[in-house]
Amino acid sequence: MTSAAAGREVAFRRCLYLGTRSEHDATEATFAPFTDDPVSRLTWFLGAQRSGLAAIFASRARDSCVLSGAVVTDLIRRLDLDLLSSGKTAAEVAPAGPLEPLAVDYLVLGSRLGTEVLRLRLFSGYPSDKIPAYFRAPALPQLWSAHCTALDAIPPGSARADQILEDVKTGFALFGQAATAQKT
């Protein structure tokens, strides 16, 4: 993909963003009930996040190293604590994969950024102890930056780029399945 204005190659990260935009938007629409009514839909949202993140992480290619490994482990732990405090558990969805490690990182770290936006929008002004642990996880912009550097090293249109793009779409579908699987 080239930029018509500049006549130069567009970074793969931008291609990935554009190539998965409709799946991203559909996933955001899936979670609109939470943003519209965060109080009554909180456990549903937390369960869906837990189930989706766990399925994505379990879908990674075996023996692959992902930048987001410690992050997703921490997020799942936080989600389990939040759900436990409400007397709930997440309904699991089956993994789909194997997913390319950079696709897993894109989904996990991107979801972390999205959750930070939600925290600022929904919990601004709340005392820290009243905010669910999941929303108090660190933003980790340095990991996102390192991930973006790795994405930008991928040649757009390459077989690996195409695989990452398809795997990110699969990951967004897992979040959708996770949302549907939750009872509350």
| pLDDT tens sequence across 160-181 | 999 999 999 999 999 999 999 9
Give me the residues paired with residue 8 across strands: 3
CA distance 26 to 28: 5
What number is the average pLDDT over the span 135-155?
Answer: 95
- CA dist 127 and 113 (Å) reads 21
Q: What is the pLDDT of residues 98-138, one digit of tens each?
A: 999 999 999 999 999 999 999 999 999 999 999 999 999 99
User: Position of tokens 């990452």?
Assistant: 164
Domain 11-181 has CATH 1.20.910.10: yes
Q: What's the confidence (pLDDT) of residue 26?
A: 97
What is the average per-residue pLDDT within 17-23?
Answer: 98
pLDDT greater than 90 at residue 9: no
| pTM, to two decimals | 0.92
| Residue 160 token pair | 């690996």
% of the chain surpassing 90 pLDDT = 89
Is the alpha carbon torsion for 99, 100, 106, 109 positive or negative? positive
Determine the average pLDDT of the residues in 76-91. 98
> Per-residue pLDDT averaged across 136-156, rounded?
95
